[in-house]
Amino acid sequence: MQDELLYQMQNAFPMEQRPFQQIAEALGSSEEEVIKTVQRLKEEKIIRQTSAIFDTKRLGYKSSLVAFKVPEEKTDKAASIINQHPGVSHNYLRNHDYNIWFTMAVAPDSKLGLEKTIEILKEQTGADDAITLPTLKMFKISVKMDTTGKRAKKEKVKKTVHKEIELTPEHIAVIKALQKDIKVVSEPFKRITEELGMSYEKLFGIANELKESGVMRRFATILNHRQAGFGANAMSVWAVPGEKGEEIGRQLAEFSAVSHCYLRPSYPNWPYNLFAMVHAKTQEECDSLIEEMAKETGLTEYGKLYSTVEFKKQRLVYFDDAFEKWETEVGGS
């Protein structure tokens, strides 16, 4: 049951009054057994968090992948400086001359803006060089580890059409609440309804509005990949002719082992414009998958960047005062 439970919770966690009961019925188990299993998986740090996953861009945040070239003896200190920014959710040491890779977001009301913030961090860390790699086209973002080992190697990526939405203070209050990790109890959303003074019906109605508009990608469980048995992840990078970028991007996104797939800008010192994050249980399996992707697409110029140290990995906290505080205390100095 455990493997199927983990897969289903990654795919979509039911937004119901008693979600674990619904999961139990689908698995032919009991609510009590499911809650007990999920609690154990959290204690074993296999489950990282169960919460809403939001679209940074649709919330008005500006973001980018960033790579710094930092002298080896300065990487730990540089990573510590970068991690202090609340808009940094992921930060890794990777096996490349550009060795520190992090995701950076700034709030909609940022006074410094994205480029200036990156400049400040480059100066503070003593990085020799920096590459800013914003998303030009997103083909896939769906972190779902195949814990069952039964899923197909490839899957079609569904296109969705989103409704327009104008965020109200009520929407923002719900976003702030749903981005937090739920408690593993029979009614995990009860606390939110009490805090916001809402009925379940209203809470789930607003959540559905956020989902239909694309502001909320989904409500789901995120795993600690390594603890869940997926010990290798490679950021595969590909040099793709501009006219073939979208076609090949969609092709790579169909691989189930690919969680993220983006088209990004290339530079004279960085020829790769297509990025696909590959997850597998071993490095050998990762290498094999990337070779298969190369054969299928006919691409010959590509690279594999493995993470050697995880400096930071956490969900971005939206509408957090920490953004303004960082700009005041650090960015403004």
DSSP string, 171-224: HHHHHHHHTSPPPSSS-TTHHHHHHHT--HHHHHHHHHHHHHTTSEEEEEEEE-
Q: How far is CA 276 from the centre of its chain?
A: 13
Question: What's the pLDDT band for 229 if we cut at 50, 70, 90?
Answer: low
Q: Does a structural domain hold residue 111?
A: no
Q: Does a structural domain hold residue 215?
A: no
Task: Compute the average pLDDT of residues 56-77.
Answer: 96
pLDDT surpassing 90 at residue 280: no
Query: Which single residue is written with the structure tokens 């119901």?
Result: 16
What is the rounded CA–CA span in Å between residue 186 and residue 21? 8
Catalytic-residue membership of 225: no
CB 248 within 8 Å of CB 297: yes
Q: Does a structural domain hold residue 216?
A: no
pTM: 0.88
**Count of domains forming the chain:** 1
Structure tokens at 229: 């048995």
Task: Compute the average pLDDT of residues 156-163.
Answer: 70
pLDDT of residue 108: 95
3-class SS at 296?
helix
3-class SS at 167?
coil
pLDDT of residue 230: 62
- Marked catalytic residue, from 90, 96, 162, 279: 90
Treating both helix axes as pointing N-terminal to C-terminal, what angle do 2-11 and 19-27 enclose, rounded to 10 degrees?
A: 130
CATH code assigned at 309:
3.30.70.3460
3-class SS at 139?
strand
Start-end of H helices in the chain:
2-11, 19-27, 31-43, 75-83, 113-125, 169-178, 190-196, 200-212, 245-253, 283-297, 322-326
Q: Does a structural domain hold residue 206?
A: no
Q: Does a structural domain hold residue 67?
A: no
pLDDT surpassing 60 at residue 183: yes
Question: What's the pLDDT band for 164 if we cut at 50, 70, 90?
Answer: confident
What is the rounded CA–CA span in Å between residue 207 and residue 285? 38
Average of per-residue pLDDT values in the chain: 91
State what percent of residues in the chain have pLDDT above 70: 91
pLDDT of residue 228: 62
Best CA proximity match to 181, nearest among 222, 226, 227? 222
pLDDT surpassing 70 at residue 332: no
Question: What's the pLDDT band for 148 if we cut at 50, 70, 90?
Answer: low
Domain ranges, residue 262: 135-145+225-315
